[in-house]
Amino acid sequence: MAVQCQSTQLKRSNAASERWVLFATVLASSMAFIDATALNVALPAIQTQFTATGVELLWIVNSYALVVAALLLLGGALGDHFGRRRIFMAGITIFAVASLACGLAAGTRSLIAARAIQGLGAALMIPGSLSLISATFEPSRRGRAIGVWSACSVVMTALGPILGGLLAQAGLWRGVFFVNLPLALLSLVILKVKVPEDIDETTSRPLDYGGALLSVVGLASFNYGLIEAASRGWHDPFVVTGTVTGIICLAAFARVERRAAAPLLPLDLFHDHTLVAACFQTLCFYSGLFGMMFFLSLNLIQVQQYDPAFAGLAQLPLMLLVVLLSPMAGRLVDRYGPRLPLVIGGTLASLGFLVLAQTGLTAGPREYWSSFLPALTLLGLAMGISAAPLSTTVMNSVQHEQTGVGSGINSTLSRLSAVLGVAVLGLVALLSFEHSLMSQVSELHLSSEETAILANESIKLAEAQPPPGMPVEAAAAVKLEIKRAYITAFRNVSYVCAGTVGFSTLITAALIPRRTVS
């Protein structure tokens, strides 16, 4: 009887611990998800206040994303080495302090710098969430827990565009960052009081700081080359130097990882075809999704003339579908394996991007239901079906003592996708916009001086302004061509997204067997 009573108390203790871990990880991770979606809707307001160029907007997003992507693997390894709860709490603290700095930024440079520091906090915080869940929950319940984590996080993500839109419309875009402060405080209290430390006592090998440094320099340099190429040109010495440096450092990173005693990225894990397929689809799927959401907000507000609040609400169907479908998708993986939901989700995503490419210049919010809603519904279905299976497949591919590394790989892929999506699609958009605008205004018979001014303005994308001093009718014609040029750029971005996601879905169908979960 005593043994049975002790066993019952242990089960209750474990169940309580699981609930607190899930609650705390969802709460903390939500800060990053809120920022990602709320910031997109607030970007037009930031661009107006700081007179920012399109390139500066890309850096506001990617200064955060590239630091996160470069350091997530180190963040996961630090959790395994020094304690998952300890590193998780350190990340939350850094993220909160940097959020305060973002909210107080006086210009684009200070905002970009604060966003980079925010990325450092996120690199410690994000892998800690999945790592704590994976270390706490048994494999038979892990898929469901990750599904709940995905759904709850997306609830906050769904609030992001609405919150960002309302704050931007009220002239309070800085509140996007200030809202993180109470969330951080509450999650820190819960972690300190209710969640025990979880540390792998067998971890004694040195951390791979050299690999971390190479990944940071490589991603930052390569990202710089891609983003600046659109404004400086591919022959610019800084662009060439950045691109070449990035490629060399990333190649060196792969070489170091092969020889390191405790690599940040254990390359032998990728002998598993299922893991390779899941990683590749994650990279392509989220590159398209994150990149598209960046340009969608600019499209809705600056081109389609949505007010910021409605632009935020316009993205709500996508988020709600993820909330509704993620728990179910997690249970399907536990029972049937990941192949079916990943193939279905990838197919729906490709269709969603293709439908999105067909949206032109509309009459505003009253045509939302027939223009943007069908595409966003398809993308919401795709993400709801795919998000939990992608994460679960990666986490189920590593051993218990590598849960920090597995969480780091999973989170790095999604964040690296954000970096590549914004950088690559940003390059596509900037080049497409400039080419389209210059081609279209050639029929307006502008002077050479006016054409040169407009070419310089093209770096602002849809926020570009007609040359000063033009007659009212001529200026209105130029403004219309600016909107049409952005629509062309948006269409090209959508086609690129559809193609890459479709290709990754074919790879998934070929490499993942029908049944991979026992």
What is the mean predicted confidence (pLDDT) over 486-502?
Answer: 94
> Residues near 116 by Cβ (< 8 Å), separated by ≥ 6?
63, 64, 67
Q: Determine the number of helices (DSSP H) and then strands (DSSP E) in the chain.
A: 18, 0
| SS3 state at 105 | coil
Q: How far is it, in rounded angstroms, from Cα 484 to Cα 260? A: 52
Cα 71 from chain centroid? 15
Asked if 284 contacts 416 with a C-beta cutoff of 8 angstroms, the reply is: no
Residue 424 pLDDT exceeds 50: yes
Residue 29 pLDDT exceeds 90: no
As given in the structure block, the two tokens for residue 491 are 């269409």
> Residues near 28 by Cβ (< 8 Å), separated by ≥ 6?
88, 92, 125, 128, 129, 183, 184, 187, 191
Domain 2-195+262-435+486-511 coded CATH 3.30.70.370 = no
Asked if 242 contacts 222 with a C-beta cutoff of 8 angstroms, the reply is: yes
Q: How far is it, in rounded angstroms, from Cα 401 to Cα 48? A: 49
What is the mean predicted confidence (pLDDT) over 77-83?
Answer: 77
Length of the chain: 518
Q: How far is it, in rounded angstroms, from Cα 152 to Cα 147? A: 9
pLDDT on residue 404: 58
Residue 400 pLDDT exceeds 70: no
| SS3 state at 316 | helix
Average of per-residue pLDDT values in the chain: 82
What is the mean predicted confidence (pLDDT) over 47-54?
Answer: 87
Percent of the chain beyond pLDDT 70? 88
Is the C-alpha dihedral spanning 124, 129, 130, 132 positive or negative?
positive
Q: What is the H or E stretch that residue 241 is in?
A: helix 237-259
Q: How far is it, in rounded angstroms, from Cα 414 to Cα 105? A: 27
- Confidence at 516, pLDDT banded by 50, 70, 90: very low
Residue 217 pLDDT exceeds 50: yes
End-to-end CA separation in angstroms for the chain:
34
Q: How far is it, in rounded angstroms, from Cα 486 to Cα 458? A: 10
Residue 283 pLDDT exceeds 70: yes
Asked if 41 contacts 89 with a C-beta cutoff of 8 angstroms, the reply is: no
Asked if 310 contacts 165 with a C-beta cutoff of 8 angstroms, the reply is: yes
Q: How far is it, in rounded angstroms, from Cα 80 to Cα 504? A: 31
What is the mean predicted confidence (pLDDT) over 232-245?
Answer: 85
518 vs 375 pLDDT, higher one: 375
- Confidence at 96, pLDDT banded by 50, 70, 90: very high
Asked if 143 contacts 330 with a C-beta cutoff of 8 angstroms, the reply is: yes
Complete DSSP assignment for 289-328: HHHHHHHHHHIIIIIS---HHHHHHHTHHHHHHHHHHHHH
Residue 327 pLDDT exceeds 90: no
Asked if 55 contacts 228 with a C-beta cutoff of 8 angstroms, the reply is: yes
pLDDT on residue 13: 46
Residue 16 pLDDT exceeds 70: no
- Confidence at 12, pLDDT banded by 50, 70, 90: very low
- Confidence at 10, pLDDT banded by 50, 70, 90: very low
Asked if 280 contacts 504 with a C-beta cutoff of 8 angstroms, the reply is: yes
Q: Which stretch, 42-51, 85-94, 485-494, has highest mean pLDDT?
A: 485-494
Q: How far is it, in rounded angstroms, from Cα 72 to Cα 416? A: 10
Asked if 93 contacts 373 with a C-beta cutoff of 8 angstroms, the reply is: no
- Confidence at 244, pLDDT banded by 50, 70, 90: very high
What is the mean predicted confidence (pLDDT) over 508-513?
Answer: 82
- Confidence at 201, pLDDT banded by 50, 70, 90: low
Asked if 493 contacts 348 with a C-beta cutoff of 8 angstroms, the reply is: no
Asked if 34 contacts 180 with a C-beta cutoff of 8 angstroms, the reply is: yes
Q: How far is it, in rounded angstroms, from Cα 488 to Cα 492? A: 6
Tokens 């405790």 identify what position?
Answer: 262
> Residues near 456 by Cβ (< 8 Å), separated by ≥ 6?
none
> Residues near 450 by Cβ (< 8 Å), separated by ≥ 6?
467, 470
Of the candidates 481, 456, 415, the one whose C-alpha atom is nearest the C-alpha of residue 76 is 415
CB count within 10 Å of CB 215 equals: 29
What is the mean predicted confidence (pLDDT) over 420-436?
Answer: 88
Q: Please write the tens of the pLDDT for every residue from 254-263.
A: 888 888 777 7
Asked if 414 contacts 153 with a C-beta cutoff of 8 angstroms, the reply is: no
Work out the angle between the directed axes of helices 403-441 and 472-511 (0-180°, nearest 10): 140
Q: Please write the tens of the pLDDT for every residue from 329-383.
A: 777 777 777 788 888 999 999 999 999 999 988 988 889 999 999 999 999 999 8
Tokens 């959508």 identify what position?
Answer: 494
pLDDT on residue 203: 53
